[in-house]
Structure 1
Amino acid sequence: MPLTKPNIPLVDIRTLSEHKEDVFLISRFGSYLAKHQNLHLAHRHSFYHLVFFTKGAGFHTIDFTRFETKPYQIYFMIPGQVHSWSFEGEIDGYVVNFSPAFFQSFLLRPDYLDSFPFFNNIVQDSVINLESPLNEKIKGLFEEIILHDSQKEVFQNDIIRALLLQIFILIDQNHFASKPQTIPQYNYALLKNFQKLIEKNYTNLKLPMEYADLLYITPNHLNALCKEHLGIQAGEVIRNRIILEAKRLLINQQTSISEIAYFLNFKDNSYFSKFFKKQVGITPEEFRKKTH
């Protein structure tokens, strides 16, 4: 049977909560691990997922990039990313899950979270080591969120949203604000729209000219933008997203290479395998063996 949708186990926030209508969850990470032990296996979320470690060691893998876990390290994950972990010793910290809808009624700009680099689907920007005194400040804000989450009070969710935004802004100011912002606003908007279009259409549209048409610019203009601000051409941006999804799907041993090729809209298994090997350096079969 053809594969019609990604088949990595998808965890919904409501399955993790005692209250099925919840769109927000916070927990101490030690308690969260004890309650959801199966979540160490590769899976993806339908929600935003934050983990702030205060104790422990091991490894955490996000979209096939492996990070060594250490105290005062914070992870930001967006819906759809695949991750798994392997921890050692006593682990503690905080975990926050919230649905995409959690901030939509609170902020006038629906893309507000996208303005933070750690929510931009760039894995290297989503894992941050916090140093003193910022780490204690962030820890205190997580404690405040836990306190307000345990109380039934007026504007409870708005207080929690404001505290979360304070965490986001503090980390952005301390880790990203010093980096020079060289992309003009118009070019930045074009690149963001290009990336959003890829996210929606990567299984069907694979050529830069197809995206350039949707953006009402020329393929040369799109290539120049990507080369200048991302360091790679538009075609490579598209191919990177296709390869990422292929890797995500290859984790599941029950799905055949032919089914994955069909889902990603390749004309046959052979063409997909050649494309994958050219980009990754190994065949899909070799990648699958390597990740198990």
Structure 2
Amino acid sequence: MLVQNSTNINLLYFAGMKQLIFNRRKYGRELLIDAVSEEEMEFIDDILQPSFYILLFVKKGNGRYQLDLEDFMLKNNMAIFIRPGSINIVKDITIEQGRMLVFEGAFLDEFFVDKNFIYKFNCFHSQDFPSFLPIDMRQFLKYYNMAAEIQEEILAMTGDSHHILRSLIYYLLIRMDQHYAERYGAPRSNLADTKMLEFQKLLFSTIRENKNVEGYARQLGISRVHLNKLCRQYYSKTASQVIKEHLITEIKKELKYSKKDFSEIAYAFNFSAPSNFSRFVKQMTGLTPQEFIRPLSN
């Protein structure tokens, strides 16, 4: 992953993991967005976990990048979408030219009536398609120059800057999400229901504690029947399917990166017994936890 020399990002250390924490007051007054270019980035061979969103533009670079369950090589004219809580490993990374936008989801919430607006963007939240996007040079330069404009606005910082920055990042994300959908054949998010946006947020933030439809329906203040209806409308899946698919993705990440044994992982995900945990993994992947991690160990 990457650390900025510009002190915009702080590091917290826990359980062998380095978590990146956004510094909201780098510029004095609170600001939930920042932008830097390659000379302000330092790449380290480590495991890091950001607490914020990162949009990384690689104009010229190479090296192996591991992002959650993905493993890919950096290429020129590539964008990488990194969401909060994701696990990032970078080995032998070189970025000769690049820009990075970092922001908290609340930055967009302040601008729109719909809270949790960031969850409308599949490029950050899809678990069915890659987290990177190769882009043709001409289009890449348009995005890249917009990132530069955002950086310039932050450095200039006038009374209107907050409004300008939100407009710029909103336009950029909409365009990139369209490009992402076209590239991978991913459906554009049509999440218009505020309850579904909140459901998306809860899936990413409470999946370890809550694995059943009733629990999510209760948190959302709606019935189980209503939640199922919404999931069928927006995902063409039952609420239970959506929850299980999200849960197994998080479990796979834990199996891949954690040093915990299977029992510890089972209880961390609130399973009543390790045997129930193993049964769930087998049901969802066709493999036992031991079989799943065997090729990773090699």
TM-score calculated relative to the size of structure 1: 0.76
- Give the match for residue 225 of structure 2: 218
- Give the match for residue 54 of structure 2: 49
2: CA distance, partners of 1:255 / 1:20? 41
Residue-pair matches, total: 281
Q: For each residue in 1:79-124, what CA deviation from the matched residue of structure 2 results, as whole angstroms up to 9, or x when unmatched?
A: 2222223355554311111123323333333233222322334362
- Give the match for residue 11 of structure 1: 20
- Give the match for residue 64 of structure 1: 69
Change (3 A) 1:20 1:41: farther
Quick one: percent identity of the two aligned structures? 23
Aligned-partner residue type, residue 240 of structure 1: E
Q: For each residue in 1:132-178, what CA deviation from the matched residue of structure 2 results, as whole angstroms up to 9, or x when unmatched?
A: 43212112112222222333433334333322222112223444489
Pairing 1:153–2:158 present: yes
Q: Which has the higher contact order (CA 8 A, sep 6+)?
A: 1
Aligned pairs for 1:123-162 within 5 A: 124=129, 126-162=131-167
Change (3 A) 1:79 1:117: same
Question: 2:71 aligns to what SS in structure 1?
Answer: strand
2: CA distance, partners of 1:261 / 1:69? 34
Aligned-partner residue type, residue 244 of structure 2: R
Q: Which runs of 5+ in 1 are unaligned?
A: none
RMSD: 3.8
Question: 1:124 aligns to what SS in structure 2?
Answer: coil
- Give the match for residue 90 of structure 2: 85
Aligned pairs for 1:236-251 within 5 A: 236-251=241-256
Compute the displacement of 1:74 (Å).
Answer: 1.1
Q: Which runs of 5+ in 2 are unaligned?
A: 1-13
Quick check: 2:120–2:191 contact (8 Å CA) kept in 1? no
Quick check: 1:65–1:123 contact (8 Å CA) kept in 2? no
1: CA distance, partners of 2:170 / 2:76? 22
2:118 is matched with which residue: 91, 97, 113? 113
Compute the displacement of 1:239 (Å).
Answer: 1.8
Change (3 A) 1:206 1:228: same
Q: For each residue in 1:195-239, what CA deviation from the matched residue of structure 2 results, as whole angstroms up to 9, or x when unmatched?
A: 4444454334434455567532538x82x7656754554333222
Pairing 1:167–2:176 present: no
Q: For each residue in 1:272-291, what CA deviation from the matched residue of structure 2 results, as whole angstroms up to 9, or x when unmatched?
A: 22322332344434544544
Greater share of strand:
2
2: CA distance, partners of 1:278 / 1:212? 24
2:35 is matched with which residue: 26, 32, 52? 26
Compute the displacement of 1:53 (Å).
Answer: 0.8
2: CA distance, partners of 1:87 / 1:272? 36
Change (3 A) 1:152 1:108: same
Quick check: 2:24–2:31 contact (8 Å CA) kept in 1? no
Compute the displacement of 1:259 (Å).
Answer: 2.0
- Give the match for residue 269 of structure 1: 274
